[in-house]
Structure 1
Amino acid sequence: MATLLSWDLVSVVIMLFLVYTESVTKIKTNKSASLGEDVYLVCNESMTNTTNQVIWRKDTVLILSHSKGKRTHRNFTSGRMSADSLTPTELIISIVELTDTGTYNCTVTDRRGVKTMEWNLTITDNLIDNAENGLQMLLVFTIPSAIGGVALFIGICCMVWLCRKIKKEQTSHCERRGEESNAPSQGHAAQRAQRQRSQYFERFNSVYGHY
């Protein structure tokens, strides 16, 4: 009998745990907005009169606490935050700034259980993003152009050097051919001069009788 009671007690505890687990719902999501936009965070779109309590937090700071039949406590971290007492499950952040980035948490308690929603809000600056994109595009087009310009310059320098080298080789070749062509003519001229000197000495000896 005691064993059966203990097993019944364990079963009741397990059932209560399962019911509690099913009654607690937590949803996490990421949300982004551009600088200057209005952001709406809705914790429960189908709010009914059964809602007993609504709690809003930014990071770990309590910013709104609304209980049914009690005064709503507001402690917004920014004057641009607002929530209507008739619809406390909707948090409005007007003209968001970069400082509004953070984690927003909403907890709704009603007879069906506890529902928690969490948003990781990120604020982006379109001007900075556009500037970064423009810089990236500029680099994409500038770097290949610069590389192409350097390659063109190197190619032109190589062509000039090659042309000068070819011209120098042609000049050296022409000079060698000129020297080779002048060498026989100089040899003939030397032979003629030698013969003329021999003839001169022969005439001189014949006139003066020297042999």
Structure 2
Amino acid sequence: MCSDCKIPFVTNDRIISLSVPLLNENEQTGSHDNDNYNISTLQKRLKATVQLQGCIATMMKHEKYGEGADWYCDNDQCKQYTNAEKKLDLWKLPKILIIQLNRFSFDLSSNNKIDTDVDFPLVNLDLKKFVAHPNRNKMYTLYDLIAVSNHSGTMMGGHYTTYAKDVFTNAWYCYNDNSVESIDETKILSKSAYVLVYEQKETS
């Protein structure tokens, strides 16, 4: 939205996943990207626990777009370079929802993996407050976790494993190369969680 004429400019983009910063809703950085973490912020992230809902809310926040009036407003009332704000809303939800946790921080001097604990729900992740006009669109907003891709190691090298749920028995299994073994669901939440896969619940 233009800071001068206040007329919103809406664009629709298809995305295959949500890439969320490891920040709660009341925390801020210079950008929503982990790329801009400073050292003190990164150290706090290594010790803290964040909520998945808070991470999504941070990604959805109003954000200043550009600095020093370098955004051009093409509305007839404006037609000038000015400042603007942008905000992300969800308009249509997928049957399968993929959420990537931004665990990697890049800067000129170092590359870091952020081992923050993320508290994510195994059932009933609700995206209703992030959807534009959820009642009018009459969409299902609840999701259950069905898989987690885990990364252990560092940015320069590591190992991937997968926790996946049998949707018929509700049992969880750990897939590690050519090995498969059952796992208790209390082990699902860990600092290794990197990509979360949720399935939409078709219920009101």
TM-score range, shorter chain: under 0.3
TM-score, with normalisation over the residues of structure 1? 0.24
Q: Which has the higher strand share?
A: 2
Q: Which has the higher helix share?
A: 1
Please identify the structure whose Cα radius of gyration is greater: 1
TM-score, with normalisation over the residues of structure 2? 0.25
